[in-house]
Every structure is written in structure tokens, then in C-alpha cells.
With several copies, the nearest count.
Chain A
Amino acid sequence: MTKENPYPYIRVQKEDFDLSTEVKQLRAGHKDIGAVVSFVGTVRDINEGDDISVLELEHYPGMTEKALEKIRQKAHNRWPLQSSLIIHRIGEMKPCDQIVLVAVTSKHREAAFNAAHYIMDYLKTNAPFWKKETFPDGATRWVDARVSDKEAESRWNV
């Protein structure tokens, strides 16, 4: 990350991340934090009944960071948060690999749980990432968007 990074709490990267390290950094300097909720999305070995060998994550550079920051800001406008972070990996991953991290801190747990859940629901339907699966025989399949993800997002518009 360069110093002029306009979105210091958004990271789109090929590298893996360490949960403890990221949460520690996110908490640094905030003595009034009482609750830290984090979500880690991981690659499952089976999807829609098929064995997965490789999961490839493609994204839209430039738009991705902007979309993620917009989602993050929406969460901060809606709940009293101390800090938050979104890391999303791109490139090739294998089953059990970490794909995404959303971590949120707040004084109390209610805001932290809701904000982390909200960010994930919006990320799923609004951030320009696409998943492509490779099966053991080498065949590939682009993952279909799930109707349930759209429904999960709309749940917050009440």
C-alpha cells in the first residue's frame, strides 16, 4: 500500500491475511472498543454438489475499491462504529483458503454484529468480484449469483 492510498481500510490483494494481525491493527488506538466482530469467508471443497479444485477471483480494479468503501461508509453512517476493515483476495485459491475478511469494532456488540453482517450482505451483491470454479477434470464454471443474496441485502432496507 502506498501512502496516498485513498481507501486505507479497503484492501484488494492476492496475498493471504492473518486474522489476529488485522484485528490487532484495527483495534490500535481505540481504548473505547468493547466488541470486535469479524467475518472470514473461505473456499469450500464442494459447491452445488461438485468437487472444487481451484477457485479464481476476478474483479474490476478501481470500481471494486470504490464500491467497498461506499459499503463501509454506509455501515459507519448507520451504526456507531469505532473502526472497520474489508480485505478481499483475488486470483487463484484452493479449498480452505481465506477469501474475504470483514472486521468491525464498536463499543457494544449489537452494532458490531449488525454492521459486519450488513457489510457482507452488501459486498455480496454490490462489489464487482466474480468467481470461477475449476473442477478436478480441469473443466471450469462461472459461479451463478444467488437469489438468496439479493434477498439478504434487501432485508436491510426496512
Chain B
Amino acid sequence: MLDILYFANFREVLGQGQEQLPSDNFKTVDCVLNALGERGEQWKMALVENQNLQIAVNHNVATRTTAVKPGDEIAFFPPVTGG
């Protein structure tokens, strides 16, 4: 399984902060994103077509081409605004 996390307005727009996905078919972050994008327009806009999408895999900054494996924690969020 993969742990998927959503933060800030992503969490609000997508209606959830956390979910699990079967990891079998996903080789990269991009595969995960495309699968999520098929859930509807909201998902496509927030994740697939969002140029400002930020990605982390296991707490490290990642990109769409980053490889994923079973047990990974993948987080999607907007640009950070702390400080």
C-alpha cells in the first residue's frame, strides 16, 4: 500500500487529508497522480494540472518522476507559506 497525504487547501478541496492506495501499479509519483486525476475535475485541477504542485516522498522533496515503492508515504501540497 501507499500512504497518500494532502495538506492545506488541497486537503480542503479534495475533502480528505489522508488515504491509502494499493501500490502495485505505480512505478513513479506521476503514475499515482494520473490515477488520482481520473477521479474527477477537482482532482485533475489540484494535482495533475497544477503547476505549483509540491511533492514529498517519505518526508523528502520529490518530483513527478520520483520512483515509489510499497510502504512509501507520498504527500501533495501547495507552495509553503510558513515563517
Contact = CB atoms under 8 A, between A and B. Distances in A.
B9 A142 contact: yes
Given A63-B56, A128-B7, A130-B8, A123 B78 contact: no
A144 interface: yes
Interface of B: 5, 7-9, 52, 56, 59-61, 75, 77-83
Nearest to A143: B81
B83 A41 contact: yes
A100 B83 contact: yes
Interface in A104-152: 109, 120, 123-132, 142-146
A99 interface: yes
Interface stretch (A1-9, A14-22, A53-61, A75-83): A53-61
A66 B59 CA distance: 7
Main secondary structure of the interface of A (DSSP, over half): mixed
Given A60-B56, A63-B59, A130-B77, A88 B82 contact: yes
Contact of B78 (A57, A63, A130): A130
21 contacts: A41-B83, A60-B75, A62-B59, A66-B60, A88-B83, A99-B82, A99-B83, A123-B83, A124-B81, A124-B82, A126-B61, A127-B80, A127-B82, A128-B75, A129-B80, A129-B82, A130-B8, A131-B81, A142-B78, A145-B52, A145-B79
